[in-house]
């Protein structure tokens, strides 16, 4: 009944190839956007924005970035934490060096700097594949964290080696530092999320994305049909790192406000984002959102249920959380290896026929 395409006629190519070709799906998408942009900013408070929405939105950008590299181009990367750190430190240096420039510019330039670093560390991908590439990117992860810990220039010679974000504005509205309004930080991050998802979606269904997928599916065949592996792989690294850099910059400046590189951008961050796209669905933009939501919201939801409602001891809930998240990951990988995105696809198919499946 829902998601039916009958009566939904396309009369132009543009209509036929749009992202949401089914009318119901399109309106649902507009509805979600409407809620996210117009309704939520009026009802959120500090708790909701700092505990749920900011981490969800920022991790969604990182997951989109990693999904481009791993899910679309097939290049396994364990360097996400390191690349996020590049974005964060680039943003910090820009924020402190050019205090009068808008945060929008700083975040975008941080993304570009990360893209350059990503291309640099993507060079080995031309020679090595699979697990070996994973190890090479792992080296990037450790090297970058070590670099930001070791060279005082990156943290402006502060005694503790921490970076903390000073107060900066965007069109006169404070969006970093302690005196921010919940709606301002939320909308600022949402803007980047919509931008990233839009760009990623349109890149991945265009010629660039098709080249990435050709490389992913079989690189030799792709080369024979005329895909340049150098350009395809390096553009994937660049675009992926650009998004990851943006997410790192937002993670530091908007969400946390103070960062210690080893603790925040360590190897566990790389794994977390990788888990997000594996659970969400490799090679799917929706999957990036679903995976980020799953891994951000689930621990908070478990905490609220366990500690606040049931009154269990905090350590038991924290341990249960590990058990439940771990168990769910295993269940997902066995029952639905293509992730939450595939579940969503199946659900849509079912809904089309519902309530008369035959």
Partner 1 sequence: MKLKLTTLALGAALAAGPAMAELVFPSLSYRTGPYAANGIPFADGYQDYFTLLNERDGGIGGEPIRMIECETGYNTEKGVECYESTKGEGALVYQPLSTGITYQLIPKATADGIPVHSMGYGRTSAKDGTVFKNIFNYPANYWDGASVAIKHLLDINDGSLEGKKIALVYHNSAYGKEPIRTLEELSEKHGFELSLLPVDHPGQEQKSQWLQIRREKPDNVIMYGWGVMNQVAIQEAANIRYPMDQFIGIWWSGSENDVRPSGAAANGYKSLTFHNVGDDFPVFADIQKYVVDSGKAAGAGDQIGTALYNRGLYAAMLAAEAAKTAQGIHNTKALTPGQMRDGMEALEITEAKMTDLGLPGFGPEFQVSCENHGGNGLVAVAQWDAAADSWSLITDFVQSDQDVLGPLVAEDAAAFAAESGITPGC
Query: Can you give the binding site for partner 1, defined by CB under 8 A?
Result: 32, 35-36, 40, 43, 46-48, 50-52, 55, 149, 159-162, 164, 166-167, 177-179, 255-260, 262-264, 266, 289, 293, 297, 300-301, 303-304, 307-308, 313-315, 317-319, 322
Q: Exposed/middle/buried for 225, CB within 10 Å: 0-12, 13-18, 19+? A: exposed
To the nearest whole angstrom, how small is the minimum distance from the Cβ of residue 90 to partner 1? 19
Nearest CB to partner 1, comparing residues 126 and 322: 322
Write the CB contacts of 263 (distance below 8 Å, at least 6 apart in sequence).
none
CA angle 310, 313, 318 (to 5 degrees): 100
329: which 2 tokens?
A: 């990951």
Nearest CB to partner 1, comparing residues 174 and 203: 174
Write the CB contacts of 99 (distance below 8 Å, at least 6 apart in sequence).
166, 168
Nearest CB to partner 1, comparing residues 15 and 314: 314
First and final C-alpha spacing in the chain? 13
To the nearest whole angstrom, how small is the minimum distance from the Cβ of residue 128 to partner 1? 27
Residue identified by tokens 């107060």 is 167
To the nearest whole angstrom, how small is the minimum distance from the Cβ of residue 198 to partner 1? 14
Residue identified by tokens 């771990």 is 326
Nearest CB to partner 1, comparing residues 208 and 293: 293
To the nearest whole angstrom, how small is the minimum distance from the Cβ of residue 317 to partner 1? 7
Residue identified by tokens 């650009």 is 242
To the nearest whole angstrom, how small is the minimum distance from the Cβ of residue 85 to partner 1? 14
To the nearest whole angstrom, how small is the minimum distance from the Cβ of residue 47 to partner 1? 4
Nearest CB to partner 1, comparing residues 124 and 161: 161
To the nearest whole angstrom, how small is the minimum distance from the Cβ of residue 263 to partner 1? 6
Cis peptide upstream of residue 355 (ω within 30 degrees of 0) = yes
Nearest CB to partner 1, comparing residues 230 and 346: 346
To the nearest whole angstrom, how small is the minimum distance from the Cβ of residue 40 to partner 1? 7
Q: Which is nearest to 213 in space by CA: 117, 131, 284?
A: 284
Nearest CB to partner 1, comparing residues 108 and 344: 344
337: which 2 tokens?
A: 């290896």
For residue 258, the cross-strand partners are: 164
Euclidean distance between CA atoms 267 and 244, whole angstroms: 15
CB 114 within 8 A of CB 108: no
109: which 2 tokens?
A: 């330039």
Q: How far is CA 57 from CA 86, 182, 202, 319, 327, in A?
A: 19, 14, 19, 26, 25
CB 37 within 8 A of CB 183: no
To the nearest whole angstrom, how small is the minimum distance from the Cβ of residue 322 to partner 1? 8
CB 281 within 8 A of CB 330: no
Nearest CB to partner 1, comparing residues 68 and 254: 254
């Amino acid at each position: 009944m829902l998601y039916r395409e009958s009566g939904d006629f396309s009369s132009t190519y543009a209509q036929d190839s749009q992202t949401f070709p089914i009318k119901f799906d399109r309106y649902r998408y507009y509805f979600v956007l409407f809620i996210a942009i117009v309704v939520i900013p009026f009802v959120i408070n500090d708790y909701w924005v700092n505990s749920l929405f900011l981490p969800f939105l920022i991790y969604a950008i990182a997951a989109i970035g990693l999904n481009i590299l791993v899910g679309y181009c097939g290049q396994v990367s364990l360097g996400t934490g390191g690349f996020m750190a590049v974005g964060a430190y680039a943003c910090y240096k820009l924020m402190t060096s050019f205090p009068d420039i808008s945060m929008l510019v700083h975040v975008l330039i941080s993304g570009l700097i990360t893209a350059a670093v990503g291309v640099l560390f993507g060079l080995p991908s031309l020679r090595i594949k699979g697990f070996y590439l994973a190890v090479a990117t792992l080296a990037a992860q450790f090297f970058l964290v070590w670099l930001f810990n070791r060279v005082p220039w990156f943290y402006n010679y502060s005694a503790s080696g921490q970076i903390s974000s000073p107060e900066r504005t965007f069109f006169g509205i404070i969006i970093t530092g302690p005196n921010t309004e919940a709606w301002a930080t939320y909308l600022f991050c949402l803007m980047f999320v919509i931008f990233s998802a839009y760009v990623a979606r349109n890149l991945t269904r265009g010629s660039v994305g098709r080249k990435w997928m050709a490389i992913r599916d079989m690189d030799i065949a792709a080369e024979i049909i005329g895909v340049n592996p150098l350009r395809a792989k390096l553009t994937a690294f660049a675009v992926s790192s650009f998004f990851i850099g943006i997410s790192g910059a937002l993670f530091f400046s908007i969400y946390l406000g103070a960062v210690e590189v080893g603790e925040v951008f360590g190897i566990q961050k790389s794994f977390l984002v990788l888990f997000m796209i594996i659970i969400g669905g490799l090679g799917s933009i929706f999957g990036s959102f679903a995976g980020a939501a799953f891994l951000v919201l689930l621990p908070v939801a478990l905490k609220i249920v366990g500690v606040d409602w049931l009154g269990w001891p905090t350590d038991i809930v924290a341990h249960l959380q590990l058990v439940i998240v771990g168990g769910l990951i295993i269940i997902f990988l066995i029952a639905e290896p293509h992730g939450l995105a595939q579940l969503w696809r199946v659900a849509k198919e079912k809904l089309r026929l519902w309530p008369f499946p035959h």
